[in-house]
Amino acid sequence: MKKLLATLFFCISITALAQDKPAYSVAEITFINKEAYQRDLWPKIQKLAYDAGADILVSGGLGGAITGLPKIVDKVTIIRFKSLQQAKNFYASKSYQDIKPIAEKTVKIRLYIVEGQ
């Protein structure tokens, strides 16, 4: 019985280690043309993210800066992907590359991809 439990625990541990960790895309956005961003870019990003199986966790203006710090961006978005590789594939995809010219005209963006838990 102890051997069976040890083997089961080992298999569960290996399975847990083998699973991909989620990855998060964090974008700090400053508007060049807010109306064009809202009309021409953001709906396309939302559709691409949902089509890729990602979840948009945050999409909004800053609720307020930490006391004493200035507001430095207009919007922050956080998108959760199933894995770091899925996030990299999303940003390398032809569909995403096709909308980058719109982004260049509507926003200044700092984009990070981080692996999470």
The 10 Å Cβ neighbour count of residue 9 is 10
Q: Where are the alpha helices (DSSP H) in 1-117?
A: 2-18, 34-36, 42-51, 84-92, 94-106
Domain residue spans of the chain: 20-115
Question: Would you state the pLDDT for residue 5?
Answer: 44
Tokens linked to 65: 């800066």
Which residue in this structure is represented by tokens 């399975």? 15
Question: Would you state the pLDDT for residue 107?
Answer: 97
Question: Would you state the pLDDT for residue 95?
Answer: 96
CATH class of 20-115: alpha beta
pLDDT (tens, 9 = 90+) of the chain, 117 residues, equals 556 444 545 545 444 455 689 999 999 999 999 999 999 999 999 999 999 999 999 998 766 666 777 778 899 999 999 999 999 999 999 999 999 999 999 999 999 999 998
Structural contact between residues 33 and 106, judged by C-beta atoms closer than 8 angstroms: yes
Distance in angstroms (rounded) separating the CA atoms of residues 91 and 1? 49
Question: Would you state the pLDDT for residue 2?
Answer: 57
